[in-house]
A and B are shown apart, each in its own frame.
Chain A
Amino acid sequence: MKFTAVLASAAMALGLATGAMAQDKTKVGFVYVGPVGDGGWTYEHNKGRLAVEEHFGDQVETVFVESVPEGPDAERVMTQMALEGADLIFTTSFGYMDPTINVAKKFPNVKFEHATGYKTAPNVSVYSARFYEGRAVQGHIAGKMTESNIIGYIGSYPIPEVIRGINSAYIHAKKVNPDVEFKIVWAYTWFDPAKEADAATVLIEQGADVILQHTDSTAPQAAAQEAGNVITFGQASDMSEYAPKPRVSSIIDNWAPYYIARTQAVIDGSWETVNTWDGIKEGMVEIGEISDAVPADVKEEALALKAAMAAGEYHPFTGPLKKQDGSDWLAEGETADDGTLAGMNFYVEGLEGEIPQ
């Protein structure tokens, strides 16, 4: 046991030593779940990284590792970054949660930022964006534009973040089109172009003429383009190469300001644990340009909806709302609290099918 204690403290000392060495230049690490060229989720995180580089210039050095599986491999990659003197590490997928906490324990002087999770520590912050606000705009446009009244939805994993998106899109589609119906396919992946394309094709064959996706690649866009007369929305990134049709708008995750602010905090020594959940108002969620394929009046309404959320006048989950089983959820005028939203594991009334269990 003594020997191991020596080993452990040697490792610690080394970690500390390298931390000290790197003090002249702040080193920021990024761990990505997909390739930087996925055109969606990871692509936007990498844009945030590049923005940090540009903003700080020589003051900061960034490193990244892409396509890191969620699990022990992620833990190793984070440890490696910490050993090599990273001062701040962004871990950008939900499945990195436990690995982030484990590594953070071993390197108390390194700051960690975990995207979309819920576990914090003295040196671990969590951050996410209120994507469901963007979903409200999507739902509105989708409900207005569908002719078959069938909207296809490619879910990644049945986690609260994704379920929130489905509910928000559905509520706003239903509001403008009472006949609308959602068909949901679970892909069980964040990034797998082949699976995503298959899912889109299946949904289109079932009559969907709008495809919403919560997966990261542009494959569903391509599938929709091929099928023709199907509209889609860019996910996580603008995906404007598919505009004006099938891609009629998009949700863009803009991580750059947050990444710059947090890097600055590390440089200043003012970094502390926070739980950030920003939306359209703060600019973390952006709505990509609504293309000309959308009728002018629909576009106007969509922009008004966005403006109302930006001003804080409208919350996408405003009562009266019932749960799928018919029980009451929100009373007239009541808005959902963040706690319920963070752990959302139920569909709202009207959605068909069950959340996979």
Chain B
Amino acid sequence: MIVLEKRPQPSKAWSYATPLVAVIATMVFGGILFAILGKNPIEAIGTIFWEPLFGEFAFYYRPQLLVKGAPLVLIAIGLSLGFRAGIWNIGAEGQYIMGAIFGAGAGLAFYPLDAFYIFPIMVIAGAFGGWLWAMIPAFLKVRFGTNEILVSLMLVYVAEQFLASVSLGLLKNPEGFGFPGSRNLQSYESAHNAELIAGSGMHWGVVAAFIAVIFSYILLNRHMLGFHIRLTGEAPRAAKFAGVNPARLILFCLGLSGALAGLAGMFEVSGPSGVVSIDFNVGYGFTAIIVAFLGRLHPVGILLAGGLMALTYIGGEIAQSQLGLPAAAIQVFQGMLLFFLLAFDLLTNYRIRAARSEVA
């Protein structure tokens, strides 16, 4: 018999090792899956992980990793702060949408004016939009004790309806022949979040993601507020004695994660995407939850996890077109990653031991 025995202290070694073990396990079982589908597993996994980084066209894929990873990291950083304090913002997708609408709306309001201050205003508007949307569950939780998981999640669907509405009405391109969707911000220079160096993939959203990582690291390790966040998550009673004000913490964590998600949406809509359209959102807000946990809620971990997720997306597409792997197989592969992470997480808090057979 094998039994699980709770460790007196969570194992530090395992908490660092689990992401690596999870990635290896995903490769092994993903490989088996690809083999069952009749593909060469080594080739498939090689394509997913190798091609985007070192393949023939890596000069194109490497910048794309930044483009794909930046919103994930930016959102996940915000979420991780709340998650550490036990405040569960599941609705980052909605805040991402609202940030995009506010940001793009602010920019389009100036169309076709050409001025340097338009883009900064859009950045502020985008952050404000996300913040505002996150303040709804925050306020309801503080005031009425509602569950922020449910409220923030449900508000995603409200935001999606709002997105459809503005794509068809308020922000619709007047020169779009009646088709839904806004003007393309890529062709409106003052509002375009262009690559800072052409072909590098570096746009302001990538810069913001790196800044967020650094600030989050400083906040958690060097600042009283960061200490309170960690304390509340790890020892709520102790936090109370330390004088942590839970209401303020909730407002701060939800507000900040909302603002960062809003920023991500704004940078996406003004850059890589360009248009506010009905299906502008593609799930970054939900994937960021995986990224946050994959990164152990640690800023540097999240940076790496965001890169890894971006890699599986881009590598997955290459595997689809080169090897004919179905999209669903790639999604299963990505799902495995989280599954194995959670499974091996058990080893951080428990150890496996062979049980002594009890003699009656």
Same complex origin of A and B: yes
Is A275 interfacial (CB-CB < 8 Å)? no
**Given A77-B317, A157-B180, A356-B164, is A71 in contact with B59 using a C-beta cutoff of 8 Å?**
no
A334-357 residues with Cβ-Cβ distance < 8 A to B are: 342-345, 355-357
**Chain A 25-69: CB-based contact to B (< 8 A → 1; otherwise 0):** 000010000011000000000000000000000000001111111
Whether A80 contacts B59 by the Cβ 8 Å rule is no
**Residues on B with beta carbons closer than 8 Å to the beta carbon of A357:** 165, 168-169
If A65-B327, A71-B282, A72-B67 touch, does A158 touch B180 (CB 8 Å cutoff)? yes
* A182 to B123 alpha-carbon distance, docked (Å): 44
Q: Is B279 an interface residue (CB 8 A)?
A: yes
Which residues from B are CB-within-8-Å of A11? Answer: 59-60, 199
Tell me, yes or no, whether A83 is within 8 Å of chain B by CB: yes
Residues of chain A at interface, number, CB under 8 A? 48
Question: Looking at the complex, which one of A65, A94, A98, A188 makes contact with B275 (CB distance below 8 Å)?
Answer: A98
**Contacts known (A72-B272, A98-B275); A160 close to B327, Cβ less than 8 A:** no
Q: From known contacts A8-B198, A70-B277, infer whether A35 and B328 are also in contact, taking CB-CB under 8 Å.
A: yes
Which parts of B195-231 form the interface with A (CB within 8 Å)?
Answer: 197-199
Q: Inside 8 A of B278's CB, which chain A residues have their CB? A: 157, 188
The DSSP consensus for interface residues of chain A is mixed
Bound-state Cα–Cα, A157 to B275, Å? 16
Cβ of A309 under 8 Å from chain B: no
Check A4 for interface membership: any CB of B closer than 8 A. yes
Indicate whether A189 reaches chain B with its CB closer than 8 angstroms: yes
- Given A79-B60, A342-B177: A95 and B277 within 8 A (CB)? yes
0/1 string, A1-19, CB within 8 A of B gives 1: 0011001101100100000
Q: Does A198 contact B (CB under 8 A)?
A: no
Which residues of B are interface residues toward A (Cβ below 8 A)? 57, 59-61, 64, 67-68, 160, 164-165, 168-169, 177-180, 184, 186, 197-199, 268, 272-275, 277-280, 282, 313-314, 317-318, 320-322, 324, 326-328
13 contacting pairs across A/B (C-beta < 8 A): A8-B198, A35-B328, A63-B324, A80-B57, A80-B321, A83-B57, A84-B321, A98-B184, A102-B186, A188-B164, A189-B279, A343-B179, A356-B164
Q: Which residues of A contact B (CB under 8 A)?
A: 3-4, 7-8, 10-11, 14, 29, 35-36, 63-73, 75-77, 79-81, 83-84, 94-95, 98, 102, 118, 157-160, 186, 188-189, 342-345, 355-357
